[in-house]
Amino acid sequence: MSDQHEPLIPRGDRLLTLRVTFVSLFIGVVGAVLVGLILLSLRQPLTPDTKGQVSWSIGAFMVPAAGLVSALILAWSVFFLPVTLARRQGIVLDPQVWPVTGAIAVAVLLIVAFAGAIMFGVI
């Protein structure tokens, strides 16, 4: 046996890490849904005029904008917000739990939302 010890790796509290991650994810889901619905309400389909020309408007880009902004809000809520909340509360996030749990939770939510949209005929 050697006299050398492995350096201590700072680890956070798993239970508090999970709590902060899911609270942040809940905040992000609420924000993404609200912003997404607002942007979707502003959409306008592309319409051709009598000459067959399409008249473009900013409302034609609202569906992709809603998806992009919602994805950015979810990414912010998983990767940035937990760190900010933990820092304010003096919590050290467990690096083996924090980013992976949030990313998996977002992936599961997106799969469920996509399957629900297909089942209810939205897509």
Q: What is the total residue count of the chain? A: 123
| Residue 1 counted as domain residue | no
| Percent of residues, the chain, with pLDDT higher than 90 | 40
| Residue 26 counted as domain residue | yes
Nearest to 73 by CA among 27, 19, 20: 27
| Residue 2 counted as domain residue | no
| Residue 41 counted as domain residue | yes
Which residues are CB-neighbours of 6 under 8 A, at least 6 positions away? Answer: none
Position 2 scores a pLDDT of 54
Position 72 scores a pLDDT of 94
| Residue 20 counted as domain residue | yes
- Identify the residue with better confidence: 11 or 52: 52
| Residue 4 counted as domain residue | no
- Assign 3-class secondary structure to 27-54: HHHHHHHHHHHHHHHCCCCCEECCCCCE
Q: Which domain holds residue 90?
A: 14-46+53-119
Residue 49 has pLDDT above 90, yes or no: no
Residue 3 has pLDDT above 60, yes or no: no
Position 1 scores a pLDDT of 52
Which residues are CB-neighbours of 83 under 8 A, at least 6 positions away? Answer: 93
Nearest to 21 by CA among 120, 97, 118: 97
